[in-house]
Amino acid sequence: MKNLALSLALVALASGSAFGAVTSTTAHSTDSFGFEAQLSNTDLIAGQVGVEGADNGWHPATPGEPARLIQLTDGTTGAGLNGLLNDFPGAGLPTKIVSYDLGGQDIGGINILSGNDGADGRVFMTVAIYADNSLLAYVESDLPGTLNDQGWRSTFVEIFDDASATLAAGVNDLRLEFYTVDNTGGQYRDPFAGVNPFTGIDDGLSEAFVAPLIWEVDVLPVPEPASVALLGLAGLAFARRA
- The binder of Ca ion chosen from 32, 59, 74, 112 (CB under 5 A): 74
The stretch among 19-27, 53-61, 153-161, 216-224 that binds Ca ion (CB under 5 A) is 216-224
Looking at beta carbons only, is 152 or 215 nearer to Ca ion?
A: 215
- The nearest distance, CB 37 to Ca ion, in angstroms, is 13
Q: Is residue 43 at the binding interface for Ca ion, with CB under 5 A as the rule?
A: yes
Tell whether residue 71 is a contact of Ca ion (CB under 5 A): yes
Which range, of 78-86, 104-112, 150-158, 173-181, touches Ca ion by CB under 5 A? 78-86
The candidate with the shortest Cα–Cα distance to 23, out of 129, 137, 107, 111, is 137
Stretch near Ca ion under the rule CB under 5 A, chosen from 121-129, 133-141, 161-169, 214-222: 214-222
Neighbours of 61 (CB within 10 A): 9
Choose one: 10-18, 40-48, 148-156, 171-179; the region binding Ca ion (CB under 5 A): 40-48
Give me the residues that bind Ca ion (CB under 5 A), please: 40, 43, 46, 71, 74-75, 78, 190, 192, 203, 205, 215-216, 218
